[in-house]
Chains A and B, each alone.
Chain A
C-alpha cells in the first residue's frame, strides 16, 4: 500500500515536471517561430506535386525564388497511388497546401468540396495566363458554371498506337479514319494470325476511357437532365457500346486483362497491333521497340464514327489549383503564372516528358520535330471533358467497367448491361438530385 502511494506520488511529481517542461518548450518554439517571421519577411508557400511531377518540379523552383525573393516555395511530392484519397483526407484535416496539382477530372470534386478557390479575382488581370493560350477542350475541364477553378499545367489525351508493319501487311498504308475501317482492318489482322493466339487490338475491360471516348464520338449525352440521371441506355451510347463489344465477341481483342501483364512486350510481340493510350506510354514503347522494331510503330489521331465526324478523345492532364483556405493566394498565383510561362513549360517537358498545356510551347523543336507528337497535337484540338460531377469516377470505375466486363464476356446482352448500368448510376446520383432540388 505504501509502495503504491509512493509510486502515485512519484507519478504526480513526474507529470507535474513534464507539464512544466512542455510549457517551456512550447513557449520557446513560439518565440522562435515569431522571430523567424519577423526577420525574414518572406512568405513560405506549400506546393504539392504528384509522382514524378512533384519530384522534378523542384528543379524549376530556384529560378522562381530568384525572380521573387520574397517568396519561398516548399515542394512536397505525394505519390500518384491513392493521391486523391490523400488530398481529400488532407482537406478534411485542414492540411491542404497553398498550391497543388490536381488531375483535371478531379477538379469538380474539389470545387464541390469548397477545397479550391475559383480564380476570377486573379485571372482577368494576368498577362501570362489567358484562355486563348490553351486548347479549348483542356481549358474547359477546369470550368464549372462558367467559373475557372484551375490552370492546365500539362496535358494528355488518348490516341492510337499502332504497328506500321502489321498495317502495311494488311494493306493499310495509312491508319484507319473511320470506325468501319478500324473494324475491317482488325478483322484482316486477326485473319493474318491464323492459328496463333494473337489479336488485332487491345481494348482492356478495365479501361473505361475507351468506352466513353467512343460514346462521345458518336455524340452520346452520357448523363442527362443536368447530369442527374444516367443515359447509357440512350441510342447513341448503345450504338458505340455494341460496336466495341463486337471486338470481344469476334475475338479481335483479348478478353481477360491478366493475359497482358506487359502491354509493351505484347505490342512488340504483335500479340496485338493497336492500342489506344496516352503520351505517358511513349517512352515505354520506345524502350521496348528496339532494333528492327524501332521504326515499326507510330501514333495516329483516333478514327471517327464516319468520314464527316472527326474522332474526339478525352481532355486529360493535370491542373494547378489554389486552396480556398490559403492565406497566400497572390503568391500562389505568381507560382502558377511562373509554371505557365512557355519557357518553363518547355523545361518541364524536358524534365518529365509531360506535354505542355500552353500552345506556344509546342513550337519548340523538341516537340514539333518529334514524329510521335504530331498525332497528339492534332488530337488536342478535338478533345472534350467528361461530365463534371464529383460522382464521375465512381460511375466509370466501379459501374461502367463492371458492366463492360459482363457484356464483353456475354454474361449480359448489351441492352441488359446498359439498362442495369443506368439503374446503378441513378442510385449514385440520388444525392445530387436531392441537393439540386433543395437549392431551387
Chain B
C-alpha cells in the first residue's frame, strides 16, 4: 500500500517535469538561438582572423588557433586597458558602494524631511542620458571655464586640466561615474534598510548601544545579503566600463582611460578585426567570472 503511494507520487512528479519543459520551451529555444548560438559563434571566431577581408570573401578567413590570445597577451595596449579597468574597478566600486550606502542611511533616517524629493534628486542622474551628462561634466571639468577649477581657485589651487592630464583623467571619470550611478544602488540599499526589523534597534537602544554600535552590529550584518548582491553587480558593471570614457575622453589622454571593453569595441566595430575582438571578450569574461567567484568566496567566509 505504502509503496504504491510512493509510485503514484513519482509518476505525478515526472509528468509535471515534462509539462514544465513544454511550457519552458519557448523561452529555452529563444535563449538558445539568441544567446548560446552567438556566444558559441563568437568563441569559434576568436580562433580565426575574421576581419574586413573575410567579410567580403570567406576564402580570406584563416584558422589561427590561439594566435589571437597570444597576440593579446603580448599587446601593450591590452595590458594598458586592463590596468585602467582594474584601476576603475578597485577605486570606483568601493567608493560608489559607500556613497550609495551613506545616501541610503541618510534618506532612511527619521530626521530627514522631504525624503521623496531627495530620493528623486539622487536618482535623476541614473535615468539621464549619459551623453547629456557628459556634456555638462565636460563643462564642469573645463580647464579654463570650468566651475570646478573656479571653485578650487578660492583655495589657491592652480587650474587643472582634468580630462586632459594623464594623471587626473581617470579620477575625473571615476567621480563622474559615481555621481551618475550611486542612485541606483542607493534605492536597493533603502529597500534593504527598510527590511530590517525596528525591534532590533529598540532592543539596542534599551541596552544603551551608541549609534555607531547600532550601525556596526545591526545595520551592517542585516544588510549583508544586499551588500553582496550590490558589490557583485557593481563590480561586473564596472568591469564593463565603456560609455563614460567613450563620450568623455575617447580613451585618452595617452590611453589612460582606455578600458578593455572600449578596446574591444574599437578592434571589432571600428577596425573590423572580429576574431581578435572576440578573444578580448572571452578574456574579459574569464576575468569577471574569477572576480565574482572570489567575491562570493570571501563574503561566505566572513559571514
Contact = CB atoms under 8 A, between A and B. Distances in A.
B52 A88 contact: yes
A279 to B, nearest CB: 25
Given A112-B56, A258-B249, 17 more contacts: A1-B15, A91-B55, A112-B52, A112-B53, A255-B164, A257-B164, A258-B141, A258-B161, A259-B144, A261-B139, A390-B52, A390-B53, A398-B266, A398-B270, A431-B53, A435-B53, A435-B60
Contacts of B166: 409
A206 interface: yes
B163 interface: yes
Interface string B220-231: 000000000000
Given A85-B270, A258-B164, A402-B255, A113 B52 contact: yes
Interface string A401-421: 010011001010000000000
Contacts of B161: 256, 258-259
Interface of B: 15, 19, 22, 49, 51-53, 55-57, 60, 62, 138-139, 141-144, 161-166, 249-250, 252-255, 266, 269-272
A19 to B, nearest CB: 16
A114 B57 contact: yes
Interface in A99-132: 109, 112-115
A394 B163 contact: no
Contacts of B254: 405-406, 409, 411
Contacts of A434: 62
State which size class the interface on A falls in.
20 to 34
Contacts of A255: 164
A301 B54 CA distance: 41
Nearest to A260: B144
A394 B270 contact: yes
Contacts of B163: 258
A34 interface: no
A92 B144 CA distance: 46
B272 A88 contact: yes
Given A113-B52, A256-B164, A259-B164, A405 B253 contact: yes
Contacts of B271: 393-394, 398
B15 A261 contact: no
B183 to A, nearest CB: 27
Interface string A356-396: 00000000000000000000000000000000001001100
A92 B51 contact: no
26 contacts: A1-B15, A88-B272, A109-B52, A113-B52, A113-B56, A114-B56, A206-B250, A256-B143, A256-B161, A256-B165, A258-B141, A258-B143, A258-B163, A258-B164, A258-B249, A259-B161, A259-B164, A261-B138, A393-B271, A394-B270, A398-B266, A402-B255, A405-B252, A406-B254, A409-B253, A435-B53
Nearest to A406: B254
Contacts of A402: 255
Contacts of B56: 112-115
A8 interface: yes
A406 B80 CA distance: 14
A31 interface: no
A168 B164 CA distance: 33
A66 interface: no
Contacts of B269: 85
Nearest to A254: B164
A390 B273 CA distance: 12
A265 to B, nearest CB: 10
Contact of B49 (A91, A258, A431): A431
A405 B141 CA distance: 21
